[in-house]
Chains A and B, each alone.
Chain A
Amino acid sequence: SENEREICFRYECRYRESPF
């Protein structure tokens, strides 16, 4: 199950507005 792990994504700014 570990070997078949899949991760792939992308985010953008949703718009207090800062991501950190």
Chain B
Amino acid sequence: MLQELRVGEEVVWFDPETCFWGLGERDKLEALHSCVEDELSREMHALRSSVEVVMLYVNPTDRCNASCPYCYLPAGVKSRGRSMSTGELRRVVEEALDFFGARGVAGSVVFHGSEPLLSRESIFSVIDEYRRELHFGIQTNGLLLTEEDAEFIRSRGVRIGISLDSPDEETNDALRGRGHFRRVSEALSWLSGYEGLSVVTTITRHNQGQLAEMVRFLHSRGVPVCLMNPVRLTQRGSLSLMPEPAEMAASFIRAVDTAIELTGQGRRIVVADFANLLLGITAPSARVLMCDISPCGAGRRFLSVAADGECYPCGEFIGMGEFSGGNIFRRSLPEVIDSRGFARVRARRVEQIEGCSTCPVRNVCGAPCPAELHSSGGSMHRRSHYCEFYLRVIEHAFRVVLRGDLWHVLRRSALREKFSL
């Protein structure tokens, strides 16, 4: 039975289980739904129930050269200052390679942080050794990036995400540290137009009104993809920075529409978090980011390896011992993935969460994030701190489809039609 959803002045009919929906005569939509429901149910079951790790996030070091107030890593982890040797890093990558190879998967390894470029020599050495067998990525604050690094990254096809929180130097540097804005601006000039480049903006109450301006800034510097993530409230330091969900949603929607407008003028820029929600209502199993699927990708599609070798379902869980799956230097990846801590996270489903179980768009937002909810006191089986934000942005995703802007966000060449009315 389809449910009525209001999108501005329009009414669409939606199935929360399969994310089937349509605009038009209800009886006609119900008839089409009954024809495709079984197939879509199988698709959603495969998407939500399978455990197939295709990516490892690896922190080569605990150390960081920044002190962002909202960092999700516990201070105790960063201060211990552990770094993997090149040999240890190679062992981790070989474990990943064996694991992916046995499953016929072209897997990915993303060097994450703290700050991975503090281990530049090790990660570049490993990338050069294994780049024909694995996809590599680096997520960096950008402070240590040199022009030579940028050339290495481009020439090896390494994906790189750089943190930048504001198009305004003062706002950015208040969050990211003095000099950060200028260093990253310079790095963007070296990587301008590189298709593997993305910029990650953490949304806080300090920059929540600047998101559309941020999209224009990044577009002018040749950035093809930006991620705009509400600050995770995993550590106490981020609580006072929490954006106001309704205000953030309005600003985020303006940023999305700015990206659509600029893309329509020629050169593409995408707000990835929005594109993923849009996939949730148009091609749910083709989603790229895993936070808005329930259960999320933690311990199911990816896992995170801390600098001491301890494995966690996601970087957000690093330091929470009860979720550790064991140490990669002593346990195999299948054993890690089968661990009790990982299984706990995989067991979190929107159907069991009060407030989500009856929400029509529960399978579009996924109610992130379990680590954030667990660490901010109480059970992870609660609805998202940003529920109101997601409801408003998902409504906008419907609006974008209804006004004909879908292909100004998604790439048609990557998708295939299953059916249409």
Contacts and interface: CB of A to CB of B under 8 A. Distances in A.
Interface of A: 4-20
Given A18-B411, A19-B275, A11 B282 contact: yes
A19 B21 contact: no
Given A20-B225, A20-B410, A8 B283 contact: no
B414 A9 contact: no
Contact of A12 (B276, B409, B416): B416
Contacts of A10: 20, 36, 40, 282-283, 417-420
Contacts of B410: 19-20
A8 B418 contact: no
A5 B23 contact: yes
Contacts of B420: 8-10
B113 to A, nearest CB: 23
B228 to A, nearest CB: 13
A12 B419 CA distance: 10
Contacts of B416: 11-14
Given A6-B421, A7-B401, A20-B270, A12 B23 contact: no
Interface string B388-421: 0000000000000110000001110111111111
B25 interface: yes
A4 to B, nearest CB: 8
B272 A13 contact: no
Contacts of A14: 413-416
Contacts of B38: none
Nearest to B195: A16
Given A14-B414, A19-B410, A8 B225 contact: no
Q: Which one of A10, A14, A18 has the greatest number of beta carbons of chain B within 10 Å?
A: A10
B413 A20 contact: no
Given A13-B285, A19-B286, A20-B409, A8 B23 contact: yes
Given A6-B22, A6-B421, A20-B288, A11 B411 contact: no
B244 interface: no
B419 A13 contact: no
Contacts of A12: 43, 283, 285-286, 415-416, 418
19 contacts: A6-B23, A6-B24, A6-B25, A7-B421, A8-B24, A8-B29, A8-B32, A9-B419, A9-B420, A10-B40, A10-B418, A10-B419, A13-B285, A14-B413, A17-B414, A18-B411, A19-B414, A20-B225, A20-B409
B279 interface: yes
Contacts of B282: 9-11
A14 B286 CA distance: 9
B284 to A, nearest CB: 8
Given A7-B421, A14-B414, 19 more contacts: A6-B23, A6-B421, A7-B24, A8-B22, A8-B29, A8-B421, A9-B418, A10-B283, A11-B415, A11-B416, A12-B286, A13-B283, A13-B414, A15-B414, A19-B288, A20-B225, A20-B270, A20-B275, A20-B411
**Most chain B CB inside 10 Å of its own CB: which residue of A5, A11, A16, A20:** A20
B418 A11 contact: yes
A4 B28 CA distance: 12
Interface string B261-282: 0000000001010011001001
Contacts of A17: 414
A16 to B, nearest CB: 8
Interface in B113-152: none
Contacts of A13: 283, 285-286, 414-416
A17 B410 CA distance: 12
Nearest to B19: A10
A4 B270 CA distance: 31
A6 B419 CA distance: 14
